[in-house]
Amino acid sequence: MSQNKQTLSFQAEVAQLLHLVTHSLYSNQEIFLRELVSNASDACDKLRFEALADNGLYEDAPNLEIRIDFDKDARTLSITDNGIGLSIQEAIDNLGTIAKSGTREFMAKLSGDQKQDAQLIGQFGVGFYSGFIVADRITVESRRAGLPPEQGVRWTSGGTGAFEVEAITRPQRGTTVTLHLREDAGEYLATWKLKGIVGKYSDHIGLPILMRKEEWKEGADGQPGEMVRTDDWETVNQASALWTRPKKDVTDEQYTSFYQQIAHDHEPPLAWAHNRVEGSSEYTQLLYIPSRAPFDLWNREKPAGVKLYVKRVFIMDDAQALLPVYLRFVRGVVDSADLPLNVSRELLQESRDVRAIREGSTKRVLSMLEDMAKAEKDETASEADKGRYARFWAEFGAVLKEGLGEDYANRERIAKLLRFASTSADTPTVSLADYKGRMKEGQEAIYYITADTLAAARSSPQLEVFRKKGIEVLLMADRVDEWALNHLHDFDGTPLQSVAKGAVDLGKLQDEDEKKKAEEAAETFKPVLARLKEALKDKAQDVRVTSRLVDSPACVVAGDDGMSLQLARMLKQAGQPVPESKPVLEVNPDHALVRKLDGSVHFHDLAHILFDQALLAEGGLPEDPAAYVKRVNALLA
């Protein structure tokens, strides 16, 4: 062993990951080459970017490229790039650990299901380790651009618990990944096979991928001829960035493959849009709607966004300024012809050109979503197209709702894209336009209710009169609903009304006899209401008779100007301050339990039980659960 060679242990998560990979975790074995070529392409992009500030990093090789070569006798396959390269410490850090936040969550999600776990590996961008699917040993030789030749590094591992690193002399910058292939992976020692994989997965890579040319050699003395490799190299991909090509020259398969490479996703996207925009700001956009949500979609602080290029030079991943946060699920590329090559994240926030790109890209994404939504009702559309928007909504609908409060200019467009469950059993979800189209004659509001779960919303006592009269109510159970609905007061001129806030007013939907009966009940019940208000003065701001209840004795609602009980609970759970407010208790004067209150010797206990049960039915908890249980037990005894 040389003096400078050291043996180090893998990070525990990498060791676990390698175990899964070496047991053929990928359902499609050949993907390893796509992952390694993608890494090589990224290394070249990074060199381009760093060379903007230091042109000397190109050294004596300004033309960036990737070379794929193999040695049948040694059973090795190598992928070489002349990109940014690695220092010794970077090799230890980047190849011995999963250098990405969220490692703990990643490992927690590994289930042993090969197909599902394979998707996670792509999602977390740890594709280097996919080489161990076909190799029992990997050697990486590299030198970082700008370092002297004697500061090269060799990294070697058999994919078990440890790896070795040592300093080497490497004249050329960049990286060579050499796979020592397993006995059952000999098919990857053939030019035609490797060319086919490159054409399938990496044809869009924006720099040349080179392989040795082959030519036919006649056999001697009657022996069969064979293809032999020469010392000449040829480009085996189109070597032009996919988004720079005319749309007519790009197939659906190529669009899908490009998405899967940049998004580290093994599923095809739901939709994409490829456009060249000219005018005051000139740029090309290739934007994708994924078919599934990443595990950390709800982390608004996590960098997310599209890749930014300037005149085909890679600038940054996750350019958040190019799309609003509520569209953080969108993947793709924006290539600007106007931005400076040295643009920073700070400059992106201030640039007029970036604002134009942001507005244009936002409108393009919303147009894609509108097209998917229209296909739901298009009789000529395929069943797959009809179901695309439902798939999108199930994965990303809750995030799209954030746009109601963040994007005033597009609020109306976003509102038309919203979907909700409802008390109608006709469809799983309903749009606001469809709800409005089937409102009852005389109905003057779009009614909705929020709750922790759909089951809780559906069984709320506050829906009883609406169910009795056949009035549809939207059911909202996403955590963002309460906040989002504060920014959407009406839809197409029709107000939205929470059935859990304020006194129920069905307007023209309530006939004169019902109104008269409610008024008489309120008058007759005045003495009992007064006693209830006194007994519950520390819990309820008011007690009143209601006509919203049919089967339940009581319910709690927020006051007309108060915060909803659901929002108050959410804020408390998040540790946020909540304004002091008490709910209103509404009682059903026709219910046997409420009628028993008058003259009962247990009035005080019954009043508190009534209030606490109303809280429970609404999804809350009694302020003093032990006292509630004690009162119930006393009455039962």
pLDDT on residue 417: 97
Lowest mean pLDDT among 83-92, 303-312, 536-545: 303-312
> Is the pTM here over 0.85, yes or no?
no
**Nearest to 631, CA basis, from 605, 602, 603, 600:** 605
447 has pLDDT over 90: yes
| Arithmetic mean of pLDDT, 319-344 | 87
Q: What is the CATH number of domain 6-215+224-234?
A: 3.30.565.10
**Nearest to 358, CA basis, from 330, 317, 380:** 330
Task: Kindly report, as residue ranges, where domains of CATH 3.30.565.10 are found in the chain.
Answer: 6-215+224-234
Q: 315 or 132: which carries more pLDDT confidence?
A: 132
108 has pLDDT over 60: no
> Which secondary-structure segment (H or E) carries 520?
helix 512-524
Residue 557: half-sphere exposure toward Cβ, Cα within 13 Å: 27
pLDDT on residue 121: 43
Lowest mean pLDDT among 72-86, 492-506, 572-586: 572-586
pLDDT in tens, 421-440: 999 877 789 999 999 999 98
Lowest mean pLDDT among 480-489, 557-566, 606-615: 557-566
pLDDT on residue 23: 57
| Arithmetic mean of pLDDT, 210-222 | 84
pLDDT on residue 20: 64
pLDDT on residue 342: 67
Helix axes 252-263, 191-201, angle to 10 degrees: 90
Contacts of residue 457, Cβ cutoff 8 Å, sequence gap at least 6:
421, 449, 450, 451, 475, 476, 477
CA–CA distance, 139 with 154 (Å, rounded to integer): 7
134 to 15, 35, 178, 467: CA distances (angstroms): 17, 13, 12, 61
How many other β-carbons are positioned within 10 Å of the β-carbon of residue 156? Answer: 18
Task: Kindly report, as residue ranges, where domains of CATH 1.20.120.790 are found in the chain.
Answer: 509-558+579-636
pLDDT in tens, 525-564: 888 889 999 989 888 888 988 888 888 898 888 876 666 6
Lowest mean pLDDT among 204-213, 380-389, 451-460, 495-504: 495-504
- Please give the radius of gyration of the chain, using alpha carbons only, rounded to the nearest integer: 32
pLDDT on residue 35: 82
Contacts of residue 410, Cβ cutoff 8 Å, sequence gap at least 6:
362, 363, 366, 403
One-letter amino acid identity for 150?
A: E
Mean pLDDT, the chain, integer: 84
| Arithmetic mean of pLDDT, 493-506 | 81
Q: 475 or 517: which carries more pLDDT confidence?
A: 475
CA–CA distance, 586 with 557 (Å, rounded to integer): 7
Nearest 5 degrees, angle CA 365-CA 366-CA 371? 100
Residue 46: half-sphere exposure toward Cβ, Cα within 13 Å: 17
Per DSSP, what are the bridge partners of residue 284? 276, 335
Inter-residue contact 80 to 98 (CB < 8 Å): no
SS3 500: coil
Lowest mean pLDDT among 224-228, 243-247, 404-408, 511-515: 511-515
| Arithmetic mean of pLDDT, 200-209 | 83
pLDDT on residue 519: 78
| Arithmetic mean of pLDDT, 217-240 | 83
Task: Kindly report, as residue ranges, where domains of CATH 3.30.230.80 are found in the chain.
Answer: 243-375
Banded model confidence at residue 14, pLDDT cuts 50, 70, 90: low
Q: What is the CATH number of domain 405-508?
A: 3.40.50.11260
Lowest mean pLDDT among 326-330, 390-394, 401-405, 545-549: 545-549
179 has pLDDT over 80: yes
CA–CA distance, 522 with 518 (Å, rounded to integer): 6
pLDDT in tens, 230-273: 899 999 988 788 899 999 999 999 999 889 888 888 899 999 99
pLDDT on residue 199: 84
Residue 577, exposed/middle/buried by CB under 10 A (0-12, 13-18, 19+)?
Answer: exposed
Task: Kindly report, as residue ranges, where domains of CATH 3.40.50.11260 are found in the chain.
Answer: 405-508
How many other β-carbons are positioned within 10 Å of the β-carbon of residue 74? Answer: 11
CA–CA distance, 564 with 483 (Å, rounded to integer): 11
Class of the 243-375 domain?
alpha beta
SS3 360: helix
CA–CA distance, 390 with 270 (Å, rounded to integer): 11
334 has pLDDT over 60: yes
H helix runs in 525-576, sequence order = 526-535, 565-573
Return the CATH architecture of domain 509-558+579-636. Up-down Bundle (1.20)
pLDDT on residue 437: 92
With a pLDDT cut of 70, the percent of the chain lying above it is 86
With a pLDDT cut of 90, the percent of the chain lying above it is 37
